[in-house]
Structure 1
Amino acid sequence: MQPAETADAVRAASAVAGSEGLEVGDAVVLQNSNKLTLRLLPADVLARVAPESDGILAFEVDLARRLAAVGSPAVALDPRVRPRVHVRNGFGVTFWEFHPVRERPLSAEEYARALRRLHEDLRGLALPFAAVPHVTERVDRASRLLADRDRTPEVPEVDRTFLAGILTRLRDVVGRGPEQVIHGEPHEGNVLATESGAWFVDLETCCRGPVEFDLAHAPDDVADHYPGLDPDLLRDCRALVLAIVTTWRWDRDDALPNGRELGREWIAQLRAITG
C-alpha cells in the first residue's frame, strides 16, 4: 500500500478494534504489500487489512475457522473479536492471534512435521474443491505479468524470454501428481517458530496442487523429513516457484526492498539449475 492508503488502513483497523472492545494505542506495521499486517498494542492482536473489494479475506477467515476446529498448526482468529471480515471506510479487516517468536529457528524436522500435519488437516476439510483456485492460476498470472512490458519494463529481453519459457514448460508439471488443497506459499516468512511449535500464517494463498509445490517453498532440507515425495516433481516445482517469484520482482509496482537485485540473482540461479 502507498503511504496515504497505509495511514487510512491503520485508522480503519484501529477503529474496528476499538469498536470490538480492544484497547489500541499503537499500531506497528509488520508487513506492507497488497495487504497490510499490523500488530495493535496494547491489545496485542494481529490485524490484516485489505481493500474491501478483495474477497480473499472471507476465504481466509472461513479456512481459519475450519482449521482451528481440528487443532491445525495454522494461526487462528483472535477469539476476542467476532470471526468475520470487518468493513470500515473501504477496508476489510480481520483479527488474528499474535504469537511471539522464539530465538532459535525451526529445525527441518519441525518444519516438515508441521507442514505434514497442515496437509493432513486440509485433506480432511469438506471444502468445495472446485472453488479453491488451482496453482496453475498463479503460473498464468506470472506469465501475463511477464508479457506485459508496461508492467515489467526493466526485464532484459533475453531474461524475459528465458522466464517465459520456464513458466510455459513447467506449467503443467504441477498437474502430474496427486492434488489436494495446499498452503500455496509456506516459505519461512509464512511460518512462525514459537515455543509451542510451528504456526503457519497467510492462508489466503491456499490453492489446489501437489504437496511438492509447497515443499518447493521451504528450505531444501525440509523435504528430507517429508516422506512420499516425488523427487522429480519436487525438482521441477522448485524451478517453477523460483520462476514465479522472480517474475514478481520485476513488477514495476513491487515494493520489496532490493527487488530488482533479487530478480537478477534468482535468474542466475534458475539458469544454473535448469542448465
Structure 2
Amino acid sequence: MEATALERAVAAAKSVAGSLGLHADDAIVLNNSNKLALRLLPSDAMARVAPIAEQVSQFEIDLAQNLAASGSPVAALDPRVPPVVHQRDGFTVTLWTYYEGRGTVAPADYAEALERLHIGMRDVRIAAPHFIDRVNEARQILSDRECSPALPEPDRELLADTLRNLGREVAERGKDQLLHGEPHPGNLLATNHGPLFIDFETCCRGPIEFDLAHAPEPVADHYPGVDHDLLRQSRILMLAMIIAWRWDPGDQFPNGRRLAEEWTAQMKKLLNE
C-alpha cells in the first residue's frame, strides 16, 4: 500500500481491534503489498487489512474454519473475537492468531504439510475459481498495453505464448482439486505447532503440481505421486503469471520490476532446457 493508504489501514486495524477489546497501541508491519499484515501490540493479534474493493476476506475465513475443523495445517483465526469480517474507513479487517517465526521449514516437512493441506481440501465444499481464470487475468495484462506499458515487446510475446500454450496443456493433463493457489515460503509459517499455511485469497482449483510449482524445488522430491513433467510445465506457467502481474503499473509487490526481470531469465532458461 502507498504511504497514505498504509496510515489509514493501520488506523482501521487499531480501531477494529480496540472495539473488540484487544489493545492495539502499536502496530508492526509484517507484510505490505496489495494487502497489509500487521502485528498488533500489546494484544499480540495479527490483522489482515485490504481495500474493500479488492478483498475476499469472508472467503478466507470460511475456508480457514473448514480446514481447521479437519485438522489441516492452517493458521487459526484469533479465538478472542468473533470470526467475522470488519469494515472500517474503506478497508476490511480480519483478526488472526499471531505466531512467532521459528526459522525455515525443511523440504520434507514442507511437503508433508502441503500434502495434508491438499487432503483436507478434498473434503471442503466451497466455490473457488479454476487456476485457468488466474492465467487469463495475467493474459489480460499482456494483451492490454495500457496495463503493461513498460513491458518490452519480445517479452510480451513470449509471456503471452507461454500462458496460452502451457495454460491449456496443464489444464488438459492435470487432475483438479481445491488448491492453496500460492503456497510459496512466504505463505508457510514455521511455528511451535508445526508448519502452518496462511493467505488463502488465491485459492483455486487445479492439479497439485500447480501448487507445488510455487514451493522450493526440493519439496517435490518428498511429495508422493508427483507428475514431474507436469510440474515442470506448471513451474514455467507460474513464472509467466507472476512476471505478467509485476508489469502492471498498479502492482505494489516490493521490488516487483527487478524480480520480474530475474524471473524472466529463469523462465527462459527452463524453456530452453
- TM-score of the pair, normalised by structure 1: 0.95
The within-5 A match list for 1:144-183 is: 144-175=140-171, 176-183=173-180
Contact between 1:143 and 1:164, CA under 8 Å: does it hold in 2? yes
Report the equivalent of 2:249.
252
Alpha-carbon distance in 1 for matches of 2:154, 2:254: 24
Alpha-carbon distance in 1 for matches of 2:12, 2:55: 17
Tell me the SS of whatever aligns to 1:72: coil
Displacement of 1:196 in angstroms is 2.4
Report the equivalent of 2:240.
243
Displacement of 1:202 in angstroms is 0.3
Alpha-carbon distance in 1 for matches of 2:152, 2:53: 34
Contact between 2:34 and 2:251, CA under 8 Å: does it hold in 1? no
Contact between 1:173 and 1:237, CA under 8 Å: does it hold in 2? no
Q: Deviations over 1:14-53 (max 9, x none)?
A: 1110111101110111112221111101111110111223
Report the equivalent of 1:68.
68
Q: Deviations over 1:92-114 (max 9, x none)?
A: 110000111113x2111000000
Report the equivalent of 1:50.
50
Alpha-carbon distance in 2 for matches of 1:93, 1:257: 22
% identical equivalent positions: 54
Report the equivalent of 1:201.
198
Q: 1:189 aligns with which of 186, 189, 199?
A: 186
Alpha-carbon distance in 2 for matches of 1:38, 1:257: 16
Displacement of 1:201 in angstroms is 0.5
Report the equivalent of 1:136.
132
Tell me the SS of whatever aligns to 1:204: coil
Which amino acid counterpart does residue 154 of structure 1 have in structure 2? A
Tell me the SS of whatever aligns to 1:37: strand
Tell me the SS of whatever aligns to 2:122: helix
Which amino acid counterpart does residue 12 of structure 2 have in structure 1? A
Tell me the SS of whatever aligns to 1:203: coil
Contact between 2:73 and 2:195, CA under 8 Å: does it hold in 1? yes
Alpha-carbon distance in 2 for matches of 1:37, 1:178: 33
Which amino acid counterpart does residue 138 of structure 1 have in structure 2? R
Query: Runs of at least 4 residues of structure 1 off by over 3 A?
Result: none
Contact between 1:136 and 1:174, CA under 8 Å: does it hold in 2? no
Alpha-carbon distance in 1 for matches of 2:91, 2:55: 11
Report how many residues are paired.
271
Contact between 1:216 and 1:238, CA under 8 Å: does it hold in 2? yes
Tell me the SS of whatever aligns to 2:14: helix
Contact between 2:33 and 2:254, CA under 8 Å: does it hold in 1? no
Q: Deviations over 1:39-94 (max 9, x none)?
A: 10111111011122345111001011111112211101100111010112221110
Report the equivalent of 1:113.
112
Alpha-carbon distance in 2 for matches of 1:55, 1:269: 31
Contact between 1:77 and 1:83, CA under 8 Å: does it hold in 2? yes
The within-5 A match list for 1:3-82 is: 3-82=3-82
The within-5 A match list for 1:122-133 is: 122-125=121-124, 127-128=125-126, 131-133=127-129
Contact between 2:209 and 2:226, CA under 8 Å: does it hold in 1? yes
Q: Deviations over 1:178-215 (max 9, x none)?
A: 11001000001100112321010101111100000000
Which amino acid counterpart does residue 22 of structure 1 have in structure 2? L
Report the equivalent of 2:225.
228
